[in-house]
A and B are shown apart, each in its own frame.
Chain A
């Protein structure tokens, strides 16, 4: 068992939910922590990696990270892994069997739901997984609870010998609050005990363990019913009693300070009898949960009448503003048209969608793809998904990690006359390729697919802040590691050597020519581009450019590159000899932002773009999330 280390007087820290989880992982004596980056969970492992006491790794995908954690648990170590909501879909295969084997060393899985979809392809409620896998579920409501519940999750995992799910949301991960940490523990792994009936899940071994899993769930239900993490906040206004969990708890307390609240912390298995008692003391129950009607449905099934998603929104984050109309409706009140009569209406301002960075190597790729005709472009998850937007409109699908490969093959095999003349392209980044794309490429080569793959190697997991992967030559600590050779890897996966090209995405004519040639050859081919992400240290800025105003003819070719450093100074129209009216846009380059990639120079017809004076210092305008 754990031994408490001497602790100097703890003081309050100011931490995000992610930082609080990371500190708790260290303080719980965890030995192995693994993750694949994904918003909003990324910072958890970045923070854990700062503690030298643990082994930490970026895994190639979430399934591997969970398996690494399970292996550590098998030898008796405390283990942890973190992922975003869609990551648990990937890891689910492992999860659904490790709930049958159970664990030895405590194993905690932090899964962060991107409620509100700030940076995700869908919205999912990970609380379902606890039900599906019959595992305990913790739902912190702020940073302090993130710390406390992570600690509690390790204890519960050890007691019940099963993985524990810690469900976070964006509004937990990225909210900072004061945190008082607890005492540190240490745990020495007891060692692996050979036990095929426990760890080798063949049918004969699994059958008795599935029965044990249900017994464990019953024991967990009894424990959750007693848990101090499920508690009642008394209140004098008994018209509505709230049942709530996670960040929604804070919104309820903020908005209705006099109402009784049943706060769920260890929220699965649900403490139904305690909720029933609570319900008896109020006029009606409103379940406030993000995002699905889960607790609500289970309460109703247990015969506890309640309101929930019939009055509350089903999509996105809840907030005090979204609670008020629902509560007013339940109370039979009419809400004033405006909570505050002088409240301003939101002003209409242009949208400011995320854009690719100045000098991003993807700019050259999408500029070129937009110039080519008759393409169907199967995309993937990463910064390069932005190629679907203006001005390129050069990405036709984005589904899930690695899906560009299989989708492209299906488009090729399924097409009829309507698409006969189109070339099928798949666009995927280095990290996404290694996460889940390699198998898809193997499927393309094995089944003789006619797909041209663009493998954009920018030596980083770009979208989440430039983390390392097996293609960067560095590990999670930035230390030297083996580096994948993508050309060799693609060859090993069955792509002919002569169909593999490694080229510079800043060299537009080469890229254009190679793409045109490869799309005409009815075989799988891979074009690997090899410029680093501009936000990582590998990227070196060079001399910036400027526009000679007198020479700019307003042709606007450079704007098709989509670089944020190019700005329009004035617009105009020109009537061609044919009588056709052409829109003109005269430009300037923001020299302080330009890093000299030279992409805009190449399409500039009048050669009006030249190197700026050397005395202009180059300054970056960028920051990490």
Chain B
């Protein structure tokens, strides 16, 4: 069996690393060898965050090279476009439509792309997009966005969605019991969003 490469990207504070960690726990629970790496830099300050997860019988280098990701998960629309080249031919992108506009755009030094998701489709990529930030806010907390994204990923993995759901609930159930039910709902909202979403390729 080959190695599965999942690249997750977003900005500091969105829970990119936590989500990837939970994904790693799911893969570990099935007995895979797993490596997870970050390029976080000064992510705490609203910078770019990318997290790479590789799992399979044996994983050596932790880094996914450009053109080798099976799945690209974008927690933010422009970040998904930034890392679109990570995807391998035939790979799938799951993208949050939510936008986080940085100060360099606000003060007029740069432009935010008009429609980053459309640009990804123009590149010939298979993109599932939905508003994970809005779904999280629907449950009352933007921080549930990472669980929404995990729910969306759950149908695109080489193992059953239940394995990931279990890992999510174990993580939040033991650490924050009050958040258990909210996370369950967030996970299902993410799953449903992708199931309903239309896959458009050019």
Contact = CB atoms under 8 A, between A and B. Distances in A.
Contact of B13 (A342, A463, A621): A621
Nearest to A593: B142
A345 B102 contact: no
A599 to B, nearest CB: 14
B38 interface: yes
Interface in A537-561: 559
9 contacts: A176-B24, A345-B85, A346-B84, A353-B104, A355-B46, A390-B107, A562-B107, A621-B143, A623-B15
B177 interface: no
Contacts of A351: 104, 110
A14 B84 contact: no
B81 A340 contact: no
A481 to B, nearest CB: 25
B141 A350 contact: no
Interface of A: 14, 118-119, 142, 171, 174-178, 247, 250-251, 253-255, 319-321, 338-340, 342-347, 349-357, 383, 386, 390-391, 463, 465, 535, 559, 562-564, 566-568, 571, 583, 585, 592, 619, 621-625
A250 B106 contact: no
Contacts of A356: 45
Contacts of B17: 623
B25 A14 contact: yes
B24 A14 contact: yes
A350 B87 contact: no
Nearest to A251: B61
A567 B101 contact: yes
Interface in B87-138: 87-89, 101-113, 116, 119, 123, 125
Contact of A559 (B11, B101, B102, B107): B107
Q: For B46, B81, B125, B142, which residue has the most chain A Cβ atoms within 10 angstroms?
A: B46
B66 A347 contact: no
Interface stretch (B29-37, B156-164, B187-195): B29-37
Contacts, number: 181
Q: For B60, B68, B103, which residue has the most chain A Cβ atoms within 10 angstroms?
A: B103
A619 B108 contact: no
6 nearest A-B pairs in the assembled complex, by CB-CB distance = A354-B45, A350-B110, A343-B67, A354-B42, A254-B61, A344-B85
A119 B40 CA distance: 9
Q: For B38, B79, B81, which residue has the most chain A Cβ atoms within 10 angstroms?
A: B38
B60 A347 contact: no
A566 B106 contact: yes
Contacts of B48: 352
A343 B102 contact: no
Given A175-B35, A567-B106, A619-B142, A625 B24 contact: no
A356 B116 CA distance: 25
B13 A623 contact: yes
Given A171-B62, A342-B67, 7 more contacts: A174-B37, A176-B34, A177-B36, A349-B113, A353-B102, A390-B107, A625-B44
Contacts of A567: 101, 106
B65 A178 contact: no
Contacts of A255: 61
Nearest to A14: B28
A14 B66 CA distance: 26
B119 A347 contact: yes
A623 B12 contact: yes
Nearest to A360: B45
A463 B44 CA distance: 8
B39 interface: yes
B87 to A, nearest CB: 7
B54 to A, nearest CB: 10
Contact of B44 (A171, A320, A352, A622): A622
Given A354-B45, A390-B107, A339 B67 contact: yes
A348 to B, nearest CB: 9
B38 A391 contact: no
A343 B104 contact: no
A567 B99 CA distance: 12
A342 B84 CA distance: 13
B70 to A, nearest CB: 13
Nearest to A386: B45
A344 B67 contact: yes
Nearest to B47: A354
Given A340-B88, A352-B104, A383-B45, A250 B25 contact: no
A585 B46 contact: no
B108 A585 contact: yes
A480 B110 CA distance: 46
Q: For A250, A356, A623, which residue has the most chain B Cβ atoms within 10 angstroms?
A: A623
A320 B61 contact: yes
A566 B105 CA distance: 11
Nearest to B102: A352
Contacts of B89: 340, 342
Contacts of B65: 319-321, 339
Contacts of B125: 344
B185 interface: no
Nearest to A16: B36
B60 A250 contact: yes
B57 interface: no
Contacts of B15: 623
Nearest to A585: B108
Nearest to B35: A177
A174 B67 CA distance: 23
Contacts of A118: 39-42
Nearest to A320: B65
B4 interface: no
Contacts of A354: 12, 41-47
Contacts of A563: 103
B48 to A, nearest CB: 5
B78 interface: yes
A392 B108 CA distance: 14
A349 B78 contact: yes
A353 B47 contact: yes
Contacts of A342: 67, 89
Contacts of A343: 66-67, 85
A600 B110 CA distance: 22
Contacts of B143: 619, 621
A25 B166 CA distance: 33
B104 A390 contact: yes
B29 to A, nearest CB: 10
